Chain A
């Protein structure tokens, strides 16, 4: 199973992920119709942070959706049965990352569906701040970096 992960320290804040997400899902030039949003938080902390669905192992959004419109698919993705959704906003309340998005042009939430296995945001992220890796290797680069600092003799 592959998962999306974020290296916020590498993010430059360009919002290409937002744009390509909206093109991919709605064929619209509208970064506000994306399932990802970049927070440029300056001056303190000085950081760019993309906020996107973690496809949690035990998803609170699925648990708390009163209509049963959200479900965890076999491949690990959290998916929406649009016709069951009433736009009640419970999922955004449930999500520990508030990584659920809404837009006035539609009733249903905009939630990351990992683009059927080839996420556009990962593909076009110019700084590799977004990754799509097997769960067994998630955040391996950061792990390796930390490991290096713990290494033996120098």
Chain B
């Protein structure tokens, strides 16, 4: 196997929290190249190191933090870090990705990846600098919000430019959708990675690095970068992306009748103009926020401009936040969405799941399934902003019925019963994000089959549904979903953002060239996509080993039974029979058996013989 000459730093730190011991391991080139990096490395390490049927919040689960071979390099948008573990939300494979500056700093500190194993006996934080890792007492920081702990660590360590990944009270309290926050407002939001970190009593990871990240061919790197940059800065969509980022999509989903509203009952929101990109730009945005080396700068820093929370600022909202906390909880004003976003960021909760959970609780309350007493007297109704703020805190602190909802909508519905399962909008225990799928079959399939549970980022197929027709369940849609499930997560493996490819037209092939220039290893786009398919199958194998069955490749009942109440797709629901067929076709095209298990042949073909042997052991 060829040795890499750059891209990767070449070291993984294994941090045993139980024994307070740190070991540094050399990265094996064969492993590095086969699984590329980021979530690819995470998946392989999880398969190898986490025993089957592990309690996600027990000491045997591991939190793996991995950069990619392009993270921190001269590549537009190269700031991605993956956080992965068995997810406490689903019990299956889980990962989440964040942008900003953490991964470049970690690599400059001398590590491609960290493996956090065991469990500390009392709160600690990690201090990582130029090849050294210390476990330090964090009693003082325990109990703080993410934004507060980041602020405090920067002050106490005396450097405004150290990078911090931290958890808030929600992570400490093992809320199943607790997130990890980096750089004052970028999150590894999904699948409850903050709870895993909290279960290990790790409050934060603070990093400062000054080492070179080796690059095989710096000149080639510069040439590819310059060409990509010229293309991006001249691209016509750059202007709107920089001004509004993903917030531009509120108008788009409204227009296309797929903006989740009132716990996914409606697909348009009558007050959408109160929470969209235009109003943000005009009344709330004060600065751009960019991830490492990204010329797009889709991040928005916004400030509440009036009312009791005037002056509170947050990085965000993003489209997903504005839809899940805005329209889905029927908050009428952007200022309230910004404040709710701030609460979630500081308490350390994923805004997507949090918005979904709150909307579900509101519907439970309005239907009489939970009472005002359960809620400590708050009137939790759609559009009642103060109640939403109060309830978010109740969840993070597990107060009153907040304790139940901190488990996520699936587990809450199982406990509550009374038909609430039908409007618990989740797949595999992960709450659905910001797209209504009743007239979007490919997007529905994307949610039903995403490896971490309902997440839009694996295959954002709704654009395709709108392009080719919102009533069709054909094979082309299935194929599209599979293609997207390989191309999009590839970026999480490389450690760079996908928007430069998706939005400003940088070809996939350019990333193969970047990879070659960085590592000195020849590759092709096909090769990279193959690696992504390998990892998709490996992630599936991990979940199957944990007990996943095909029953869970399915959507919430509401998608099939409650018609879209308005707009040009009025009356639409998904057809169970046709959708079932779509799932079957999906298995077939993927080379999975009728139970949704990757076949021996498929795994062998992907170079996962050892995995197939174990998975198919008699």
Closest chain A residue to B185 by CB distance?
Answer: A42
Contact B161 A43 (CB under 8 A): no
Q: Mark B385-415, 1 if CB is under 8 A from A, else 0.
A: 0000000000000000000000000000000
Q: Is B286 close to A, CB under 8 A? A: yes
Contact B73 A13 (CB under 8 A): no
A35 to B92, CA, bound (A): 46
Contact B295 A13 (CB under 8 A): no
Within 8 A of A (CB), among B244-293: 286-293
**Among candidates B211, B222, B289, residue contacting A13 with C-beta atoms closer than 8 Å:** B289
Closest chain A residue to B313 by CB distance?
Answer: A43
Within 8 A of B (CB), among A42-71: 42-44, 46-48
Q: Is A84 close to B, CB under 8 A? A: no
Q: Is B482 close to A, CB under 8 A? A: no
Q: Quote the shortest CB–CB distance from B183 to chain A (angstroms).
A: 7
**A residues less than 8 Å from B215 (CB atoms):** 29
Q: Quote the shortest CB–CB distance from B310 to chain A (angstroms).
A: 13
Q: Is B294 close to A, CB under 8 A? A: yes
Q: Quote the shortest CB–CB distance from B101 to chain A (angstroms).
A: 8
A126 to B500, CA, bound (A): 13
Within 8 A of B (CB), among A1-29: 11-16, 19-20, 23, 27-29
A48 to B101, CA, bound (A): 14
A126 to B160, CA, bound (A): 24
Q: Is B242 close to A, CB under 8 A? A: yes
A43 to B108, CA, bound (A): 25
Within 8 A of B (CB), among A101-149: 103-105, 124, 126-127
Q: Quote the shortest CB–CB distance from A124 to chain B (angstroms).
A: 6
Closest chain B residue to A13 by CB distance?
Answer: B290
Which secondary structure dominates chain A's binding surface?
loop
**A residues less than 8 Å from B233 (CB atoms):** 126
Closest chain A residue to B292 by CB distance?
Answer: A15
Contact B297 A31 (CB under 8 A): no
**A residues less than 8 Å from B147 (CB atoms):** 43
**A residues less than 8 Å from B290 (CB atoms):** 12-14, 48
Contact A29 B213 (CB under 8 A): yes
**B residues less than 8 Å from A103 (CB atoms):** 210
**B residues less than 8 Å from A19 (CB atoms):** 74, 293
Q: Is A88 close to B, CB under 8 A? A: no
Closest chain A residue to B286 by CB distance?
Answer: A46
A81 to B141, CA, bound (A): 47
**A residues less than 8 Å from B289 (CB atoms):** 12-13, 40, 42
Q: Is B529 close to A, CB under 8 A? A: no
Contact B301 A46 (CB under 8 A): yes
Q: Is A77 close to B, CB under 8 A? A: no
**Among candidates B183, B286, B295, B314, residue contacting A126 with C-beta atoms closer than 8 Å:** B295
Q: Is B303 close to A, CB under 8 A? A: yes
A127 to B296, CA, bound (A): 9
Contact B183 A30 (CB under 8 A): no
**A residues less than 8 Å from B434 (CB atoms):** none
Q: Top 4 closest A-B pairs, CB basis?
A: A126-B295, A12-B297, A12-B288, A14-B290
- Using A11-B288, A29-B214, A39-B161 as known contacts, list a sample of 7 further A-B pairs with CB atoms less than 8 Å apart, ordered by residue number in A: A29-B212, A29-B221, A30-B210, A43-B301, A124-B229, A127-B288, A127-B297
